[in-house]
Structure 1
Amino acid sequence: MQGSVVYNLGFAAVVCVACAIVVSSSAVALRERQEINQTLDMQRNVLMAAGLAAPDERLEPDEIGARFAPITQVVIDRETGAATGADPTGFDPRAAAADPDTSETAPPNNAGLQRVADQALVYELRGDGGALDLVVLPVHGLGLWGILYGFVALDADLETIRGLTYYEHKETPGLGGEVDNPRWKSLWNGRKAFGPDGAPAIEVIKGLAGPPADDPYRVDGLAGATMTSRGVTNMLRFWLDEQGFGPYLEALRTRRDG
């Protein structure tokens, strides 16, 4: 009888250990898969902003990787615009912005930002000889219901917008959620980010804008979503200005014109 009890206890212990190993292994595998999917989704959105993938295009992971391969990820110092040399694969922009040791209180702004990271991750596509073809900048700011996270791409002239895309937001479907609409996103290509004085001039208006050639600084508003439209304008103007990527863009201009 005693041997039977010992056997049962031992068997139960072995089963528990085995189950724990299986659960732990499954959790690790799931976390790794989630991280891979997040990376692929981020890369796909960078490609869409850059015009290297269509919003409705279904891409397999290997195709996303192949199209993203020519793009260089660079960690920059936000205040100077200089590359830091930090490993981009280990850089977490949101964690950096939330950590007081790697961020600072945001200057007064209309984008709803409380803190901004000292460093930022940008994406550069260069041609043969190292000439800049385009740059993709991460942007985020407050909409109606929360923070929108996305990317804006600028052509080699660092003035013309190649594209804009959002990969995370809480806006109302059919209203502010129309930031996901391919038709609305297509309106950004060819618009100008900066006015004649060099200051950010792009804005989402109430109503309809003309074509880029006639109305370069304005984009159609989102019907019934005034706060979201205003939020898109505010975040773009913040991140394109001196407190955002202004120093980095100026460094690129100097390198291009030097």
Structure 2
Amino acid sequence: MSDNEQKSAASSDTPVRTIIVAVALSLIASIAVSAAAVMLKPTQELNKSLAKKKIILQVAGLYEEGINIEDAFTSKIEPRLVDLATGQYSDAADPVTYDQRKAAKDPAMSEVLDKSDDIASIKRQANLASVYLVKEGDELKKMILPIHGYGLWSTLYGFVALKPDLNTVSGLQFYEHAETPGLGGEVDNPKWRSLWPDKKLYDDEGNVKISVVKGGASGEYQVDALAGATLTSNGVNNLVQFWVGEKGFGPFLRNMQK
């Protein structure tokens, strides 16, 4: 083969070799990324679980810097499940491992909400809901309820803690959302969260009265809206009212007060 023929053959082989090498490297990279994702998933799930437990301890007023979150949660918090249709405790699943968000996506474990009822814009609702009790012996000290609903840009997930009368707010805190920093994201501001304690959920007739209002809150049923974040404030108002209302924990809280 002449020098020209050899150069021509080498030249024609170069693109093929480049493609083969590129494909091989892509496959190796994909396998490595997939393997890393599988290996890291348990750690990521554990971190998510610990972050959620930390928020529950915080909203319950039981968190201290440096504590072992898992130990504190296990010793101070009693998870239970509530059947939202009956307003009674349920033993249909393990309250420690139950995933309410996952259940809400499963047609066998949830229901589609009618638009007229769905003021929180959650679309589907799990049949069972988690609650978290803080007790001293048999005496209930606080009840923590998970709440979620749509704001301006995202679904906000959080907890509201109630005092033993199950009508007075002890605290409110969100742990996940994608609202605008400096505006709707101010739901995380401790100053705004401090407006919630001692507000009342229901009036003397049992009607939901708690509300987030623009233009100056007054009285025991109102909380000031976030400045410059009307839609996020409306979302918080709607999700709180939903979860303490008839489609949420309302029937359960009434049963517990008897």
State the TM-score bracket (shorter-chain normalisation): 0.7 to 0.9
Structure 1 residue 216: Cα displacement: 0.7
3-state secondary structure, aligned to 2:52 = helix
- Give 1:72's match in structure 2, choosing from 70, 78, 81: 78
Aligned to 1:38: 48
- The number of aligned residues is 227
Q: CA deviation at 1:251?
A: 2.1
Counterpart of 2:228? 224
Range with greater deviation from structure 2 (223-232 or 62-71): 62-71
Alpha-carbon distance in structure 2 between the residues aligned to 1:112 and 1:23? 35
- Report the residue type matching 1:218 in the other structure: Q
* Residue 161 of structure 1: aligned partner: 169
Bigger Cα displacement from structure 2, 242-251 vs 131-140: 242-251
Q: Is the 8 A contact 1:138 1:151 kept in 2?
A: yes
2:217 corresponds to which of 191, 204, 209:
209
Structure 1 position 189 matched with structure 2 position 193: no
Q: How does 1:1-258 map to 2 (within 5 A)?
A: 24=35, 26-53=36-63, 59-60=65-66, 62-69=67-74, 70-85=76-91, 86-107=93-114, 108=116, 109-128=118-137, 130-210=138-218, 215-254=219-258
Q: Aligned equivalents of 2:202 and 2:196: distance in 1? A: 13
TM value normalised by structure 1:
0.82
Q: CA distance change for structure 1 residues 22 and 174 in 2, over 3 Å: closer, same or farther?
A: closer
**For 1:246 and 1:79, how far apart are their aligned partners in 2?**
10
Deviation, structure 1 residue 180: 0.4
Kept in 2, the 8 Å contact 1:207–1:223? The answer is no
| Aligned-residue offset at 1:92 | 1.2
What percentage of aligned pairs have identical amino acids? 46
The answer for the alignment partner of 1:3 in structure 2 is none
Shift of 1:79: 0.9
CA contact (8 A) 1:141 1:234 kept: yes
CA contact (8 A) 1:160 1:193 kept: yes
> After alignment, is 89-98 or 183-192 more displaced?
89-98
The whole-number CA distance in structure 1 between the counterparts of 2:62 and 2:207 is 28
Report the secondary structure of 1:165's partner residue. Answer: strand
Q: TM-score, normalised by structure 2?
A: 0.82
Whichever residue aligns with residue 97 of structure 1, its letter is A
- The CA deviation at 1:209 is 2.6
Q: 1:207: Cα distance to partner?
A: 2.8
The CA RMSD over aligned residues, in Å, is 2.2
**Residue 131 of structure 2 aligns to a residue in which SS?**
strand
Q: Residue 68 of structure 1 aligns to which amino acid in structure 2?
A: F
User: Which structure would you say has the larger Rg?
Assistant: 2
**1:22 Cα shift?**
11
Check 1:180–1:22 CA distance in 2 against 1; reply closer, same or farther (3 A cut): closer
| C-alpha distance after superposition, 1:19-58 (max 9, x if no partner) | x79974x5444111111111111011111221223xxx6x
CA drift of 1:252 comes to: 1.2
Asked if 2 retains the 8 angstrom alpha-carbon contact of 1:178 and 1:222, the reply is: yes
